[in-house]
Amino acid sequence: MPPEEMVDGGSHTISYLCKKYIKGTEKKAIVQLVRVFLCGLTNAVLGGISFPSNRVYINTRVVKHVYDKKPAEEFDFLVNNTHLIVKYPDKIYKNRDGKRGEYCFVKDIKNQKYFCSIEIIQKGNSPQLEVVTFYRIEEDYLKNYELLWEWKGGNLHRSAFDAELPQPNSTPQ
């Protein structure tokens, strides 16, 4: 098998990775690198980060790292909800210097905040988005992060990109 296998798995992608490559492995065991399509970003989210592709990927090494660090119940919740954090974030932050990933997607689920760091990687000639890590956070965790975008009551808000938004054409046609 090649060092990196590509699987297009749909909404059950992380569960698929866990079942086939991760469950039952020893802590810090090396796992085969398999990369899967996690989800597509919505147009609102895509506009919020101004990225040319809506596809987001995740790989076995990222999932294995979270598997090794989190209690089973929390890990299972993350496995079943990471695609929601990425596809429908409540807020997107710019990641801090020295941290891996350019964007931090945050979503409230069941009165808890969940964080997913996403980096831009180069695959061939095209940049792509890939999950770096995902976990539960406390509110004060984000106090030193720059808010880039948030969803407010059905209206999107782009704090960092307001100057770049196209202006409506006020000339009657």
pLDDT in tens, 111-140: 999 999 999 999 888 899 999 999 999 989
Residue type (1 letter), 167: Q
Question: Which two three-digit tokens encode residue 95?
Answer: 């990641």
Residue 16 lies in a domain: yes
pLDDT at 157: 53
Residue 14 in contact with residue 61, Cβ under 8 Å? no
Residue 101 lies in a domain: yes
Residue 97 lies in a domain: yes
Residue 32 lies in a domain: yes
Tell me the whole-structure pTM to 2 decimals. Answer: 0.82
pLDDT at 152: 77
Residue 12 lies in a domain: yes
* Count of structural domains, the chain: 1
pLDDT at 163: 38
Q: What is the mean pLDDT of residues 140-149?
A: 94
Question: Which two three-digit tokens encode residue 158?
Answer: 């782009």
pLDDT at 11: 43
Residue 45 lies in a domain: yes
Residue 171 lies in a domain: no
Residue 170 lies in a domain: no
Q: What percent of the chain has pLDDT over 90?
A: 71
Task: Note down the domain range covering 89.
Answer: 4-162
Asked whether the predicted pLDDT for residue 171 surpasses 80, the reply is no
| Helix and strand totals (H; E) in the chain | 4, 9
Distance CA 46, CA 82 (A): 17
